């Protein structure tokens, strides 16, 4: 687990009502901000923020449900056990936001490679999936972003722009959602061409 990720999870779980909300959610199926607000004696906007943050750190599922007059966000607990592993002897988690960026772009690249092969039967020529990142610097970042663009161009030439946009969105969805906070705060999608940046922002 990266240092920044651990700090974020520790911060969210350390807030006054977080554990109470998790226990409440454990006893229910799907809950809304209004349910949590009533249970904890909070303003509904505060309850909504708690639920959103607990979802962002990976503890809650989220779906869109139907309220009395409009659609509402509903949340459920992913599991009854909360387990985080943070090894101080492992220095690979250091590197701050740049490491988070590298892992984010690496995950998207590898997903694009898998989906390209699943669709077309081959990987783009000259490219291999990326393993563990050992060097954290901007040169590595540029290399990964360049490889992403090669995969995108490879697909555009074979299946067209519209289909490639859909492929990129499907390949990126999980990773954008997992690192939503970082993606928004540090505008990680800005590294993509405008057409694809707009498609990926639809995930939010």
User: Tell me: the pLDDT tens digits for 121-169?
Assistant: 998 888 999 998 888 788 888 999 999 999 999 999 999 999 999 999 9
Per-residue pLDDT of the chain (204 residues; tens, 9 = 90+): 566 677 788 889 999 999 999 999 998 889 999 999 999 999 999 999 999 999 888 899 999 887 777 888 999 999 888 887 776 665 555 556 788 888 899 999 999 999 999 999 998 888 999 998 888 788 888 999 999 999 999 999 999 999 999 999 999 988 888 888 778 877 888 888 887 888 787 776
Write the CB contacts of 182 (distance below 8 Å, at least 6 apart in sequence).
Answer: 4, 97, 100, 101, 104, 188
pLDDT of residue 2: 62
Length, in residues, of the chain: 204
Q: Residue 60's beta-bridge partner residues?
A: 77
Domains observed in the chain: 3-77 (1.10.10.10), 95-201 (no CATH)
Q: Would the pTM of this model clear 0.95, i.e. be above it? A: no
Helix/strand/coil for 72: strand
């Amino acid at each position: 687990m990266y240092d920044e990720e651990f700090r974020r999870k520790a911060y969210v779980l350390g807030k006054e009502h977080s554990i109470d909300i998790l226990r409440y959610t454990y006893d229910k199926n799907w809950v809304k901000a209004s349910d949590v607000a009533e249970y904890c004696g909070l303003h509904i906007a505060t309850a909504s923020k708690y639920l959103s943050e607990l979802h962002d750190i990976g503890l809650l599922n989220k779906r869109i449900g139907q309220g009395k007059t409009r659609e509402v966000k509903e949340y459920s607990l992913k599991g009854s056990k909360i387990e985080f592993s943070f090894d101080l002897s492992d220095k690979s988690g250091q590197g701050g936001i740049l490491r988070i960026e590298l892992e984010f772009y690496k995950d998207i690249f590898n997903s694009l490679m898998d989906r390209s092969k699943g669709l077309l039967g081959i990987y783009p020529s000259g490219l291999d999936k990326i393993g563990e990142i050992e060097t954290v610097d901007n040169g590595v970042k540029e290399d990964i972003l360049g490889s992403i663009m090669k995969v995108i161009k490879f697909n555009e030439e074979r299946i067209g722009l519209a289909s490639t946009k859909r492929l990129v969105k499907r390949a990126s969805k999980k990773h954008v959602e997992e690192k939503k906070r970082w993606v928004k705060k540090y505008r990680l999608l800005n590294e993509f061409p405008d057409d694809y940046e707009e498609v990926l922002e639809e995930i939010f």
